[in-house]
Amino acid sequence: MEINTVGVIGAGQMGVGIAHVFAAAGYDVRLMDVAPAALSTAVARIDAAMDRQIGRGQMDAAGKAVALARIATAGDAEALGPCDLIIEAATEDEAVKRRIFESVAPFLAPHTLLTSNTSSISITRLASATDRPERFMGFHFMNPAPIMPLVELIRGIATDEATFETLRALVVRLGKTPASAEDFPAFIVNRILLPMINEAIYTLYEGVGTVEAIDTALRLGANHPMGPLQLADFIGLDTCLAIMHVLHDGLADTKYRPCPLLVKYVEAGWLGRKAKRGFYDYRGETPVPTR
């Protein structure tokens, strides 16, 4: 199947990054969100990100202008009707995602492929809320999508081979690398990454080390590009907690129990960079550890 027009649902961090990737690769993009404020800033965020690519020599000004012209924004699902591919990139909440798929169903063409950028939720269950489970897949971009080279491809129990092959080939055309994962909680990357982050939070909770000591130890001792607590803030502590709940509920193993300190931070609204406070306080010029 040929993909020409791509609909992205959700103008948050992931949706904006995915729209950027497709527009830069030559695809027409329709970026949809029910929040007008999110849409009003989305193209400006993509504009700024492309400027950074120009600064790194990865894009020129003419290419940027053409890419931005490929992006249209919309506040309702009907605008997604002509799309060949839909990528849902809303919050990591299964009920929200199901409502989204139900809302777009009446407007889709028979050939349209439906995908979710979920980082942990069952693809089979999400597909069951649609009218096309055989043309439904997990299509998980890493954050930030314009930079990270990996895309996880997750088949549900009903996904057909043509859908998988179409999306695998599409990932390659985007200049990224596909990794096929089975439909188990959190798939591959987050099945490994989030328990590590959760364990780092337990290490902080139990007083083994400070925020600064834990992040320094993993950067210099394990050669990680950023410490686990810094990474948790970047991902969003609410997203980290949601994924740990999926792992704990789906695998019924106590090793996936979310750390109480993670729960406390989320309850406080200290969600990381997007809230200006998490394991670091970002309200000043330099991030300061909060513990």
Domain shared by 151 and 63, yes or no = yes
* Residues 226-250, mean pLDDT to the nearest whole number: 96
Domain shared by 9 and 116, yes or no = yes
Give the integer Cα–Cα distance in Å for 35 and 227: 33
Which of 54, 55, 5 shows the shortest CA–CA distance to 25?
Answer: 5
Residue 176, annotated ligand binder?
no
Q: Is 223 noted as a catalytic residue in this protein?
A: no
- Domain tally, the chain: 2
Residue 103, annotated ligand binder?
no
CATH label of the domain that carries residue 114: 3.40.50.720
Q: Is 180 noted as a catalytic residue in this protein?
A: no
Domain shared by 242 and 161, yes or no = no
Give the integer Cα–Cα distance in Å for 243 and 287: 25
Domain shared by 164 and 239, yes or no = no
Domain shared by 23 and 138, yes or no = yes
Residue 75, annotated ligand binder?
no
Report residue 261's pLDDT band, with 50, 70 and 90 as the boundaries.
very high
- Identify whether the C-beta of residue 281 lies closer than 8 Å to the C-beta of residue 265: no
Domain shared by 222 and 105, yes or no = no
Give the integer Cα–Cα distance in Å for 289 and 285: 13
Domain shared by 67 and 121, yes or no = yes
Which of 260, 263, 262, 283 shows the shortest CA–CA distance to 273?
Answer: 283
Give the integer Cα–Cα distance in Å for 112 and 98: 17
Domain shared by 66 and 167, yes or no = yes
Domain shared by 176 and 84, yes or no = yes
Q: Is 140 noted as a catalytic residue in this protein?
A: yes
CATH label of the domain that carries residue 274: 1.10.1040.10
Q: Is 212 noted as a catalytic residue in this protein?
A: no
pLDDT over 90 at 122, yes or no: yes
Domain hosting residue 244, numbered range: 191-289
Domain shared by 281 and 162, yes or no = no
| pLDDT tens-digit readout, 263-282 | 999 999 999 999 999 999 99
Domain shared by 103 and 216, yes or no = no
Q: Return the CA Rg of the chain.
A: 19
Domain shared by 247 and 113, yes or no = no
Where a domain ends, among 163, 182, 201? Answer: 182
Where a domain ends, among 147, 182, 217? Answer: 182
Determine which one of 88, 117, 120, 140 is catalytic.
140
pLDDT over 90 at 1, yes or no: no
Separation of CA 61 from chain center: 27
Counting Cα atoms < 13 Å in the Cβ hemisphere of 11 gives: 24
Structure tokens at 109: 């063409």
Residue 72, annotated ligand binder?
no
Residue 10, annotated ligand binder?
yes
Task: Tell me the C-alpha to C-alpha distance, in Å, between residue 291 and each of 30, 212, 224, 266.
Answer: 42, 9, 21, 15
Determine which one of 117, 120, 122, 190 is catalytic.
190
pLDDT reported for residue 40? 84
| pLDDT tens-digit readout, 209-228 | 999 999 999 999 999 999 99
Determine which one of 119, 120, 122, 198 is catalytic.
119
pLDDT over 90 at 197, yes or no: yes
- Identify whether the C-beta of residue 173 lies closer than 8 Å to the C-beta of residue 85: no
pTM of the prediction?
0.89
Where a domain ends, among 165, 182, 199? Answer: 182
| pLDDT tens-digit readout, 138-185 | 999 999 999 999 999 999 999 999 999 999 999 999 999 999 999 999
